[in-house]
Every structure is written in C-alpha cells, then in structure tokens.
Chains A and B, each alone.
Chain A
C-alpha cells in the first residue's frame, strides 16, 4: 500500500498523543517542555504533509511550519528561563512542589 496523506496524519496523531501523555503525566518541568516540543513537531508534520498533498504549488503549509518553528524556539527560551529562575529560588523543578500560584 503506497504511503499517502493519511499515513502522515496518523503518524502525527501518534506523536501528538505520546507528547500529550508526557505533558500530562510527568513531574519534571523540563520533561514537560520536551513533550510539548514533540507535540509541536507532530503538528509541523501535518502542515508539511498538507502542503505537499493539497497545496503543492503555493507552499502555504511550509510557510506556517517556519512560523511555528520560530514560536517554538521562543517558547523554549522563555520556558527554560522561567524554570531556571524557579530552580534558583526553590531548588526544585518538580511541578507538584511549585504551587505558589495555587490560590
């Protein structure tokens, strides 16, 4: 069976679900950030696949992938800066011990 659009979409859904599980179930804030990166990569795969199979001449999907890549890089920088700041003050990166914003 030749590889088509659905194969890429289902692969992206598998990667997204793995990342979602990790982001929900992990304690370490850095691991949660890594799982969010996996989810963003899954979305990028769908955008690139749509770009090839549905709109191969204008490449709008690939333009979107460039923007999401920039936003993901910015998100990692700010997220890690916040995590390092919390670690500097509280000596931990475990999310269930960082409850200072819990009403």
Chain B
C-alpha cells in the first residue's frame, strides 16, 4: 500500500537524520539535519491523520526552533571544534541500547486496545473544541499562556546586558 511505503521512507529519513545529528562532527550541519528530522516527523503526522499537528510541527519546530538553534550556533564560536564526545561514550551507548530494549519489550508485549472507529478528518475543529470547549483543557491553556509570559520575561532578564 502507498501509505506503508511513505511510512518506511519517512521512518528511514528521520532515523538517518537523527543519527547524523548525533554523529556529524560539524555542528552547523548537525543543526540542518535536525531540521530535516523535524520535517520527516511532520510527514509522519500527515500519514497519522494529524493535519493540524503537521502544520504546527513545520511552523514551530522546523521554523522557530531550527532557526533559534542555528542562531545560537553562529553566536557561539565553537563551530570549528566540532562536537566531540566526552569520556562517557561507551556507557552512553550501553544505556541507550538498554533503554531501547526495555521500551520495545514493553510496547510489543502490551495488549493495546486498537479502536475500529473511523479517524476524525479534518482535526482542527475537533481540537479547538477539546482545547477551548466545555469539559476540555481550558485550564491547561490558561496555565500555558502564563508559562509563555514567564518564559519571555525570563529570556529577557537572562540576556539583558548588565
């Protein structure tokens, strides 16, 4: 099926981009590869019937966070030194493989109750109802707004010249 082929292409693309972020010596190229990984995840959202999330992913992750990280790399002059590993490289590999094994074991052996209902398409109206409607997540939305205000004030206070 066409969706399966798209899934495998996007899965290989995202894993390869993530590996490039970790293994690439040049930090700037690692940041560009991180943006590629975000775009592949946006494609995964499209085949998961999450159209609004795909747009949010491209706007906030690939656009906003990608540009912020590239700017930070250009403002610090450590690009020439590459991104070396520290002394804990081998233990980190062991921990990562162990976590992967435990996660996969738990996920495969859990009897998920797959729903047979048809997926909601398009999702935007339903999401707005869940976020702002009655019995939804309105309190969390308010708390998120307060957190964003705190983040803006905190970033300004941290970066202010003395």
Chain B interface: which size bin? 35 or more
- Given A59-B120, A77-B68, A84-B75: 12 more A-B contacts, CB < 8 Å: A11-B15, A19-B18, A24-B92, A38-B37, A41-B38, A44-B53, A52-B48, A53-B115, A67-B137, A73-B65, A84-B158, A85-B159
Closest 3 CB pairs of A and B: A24-B92, A25-B92, A21-B96
Measured CB to CB, the residues of B under 8 A from A are 1, 3-4, 7-8, 11, 14-15, 18-19, 21-22, 27, 30-31, 34, 37-38, 41, 44-45, 48-50, 52-53, 56-57, 60-61, 64-65, 68-69, 72-73, 75-76, 78, 81, 83-86, 88-89, 91-93, 95-97, 99-100, 103-104, 107-108, 112-115, 117-120, 123, 126-127, 130-131, 137, 140, 144, 147-148, 151, 154-155, 158-159
Contacts of A58 in B (CB 8 A): 126, 130
Asked if residues B14 and A63 are in contact (CB atoms below 8 Å), the reply is no
Given known A38-B18, A69-B60, contact A11–B76 (CB-CB < 8 A): no
Contacts of B84 in A (CB 8 A): 26-28
Chain A contacts with B in 74-103, Cβ cutoff 8 A: 74, 76-78, 80-85, 87, 92-96
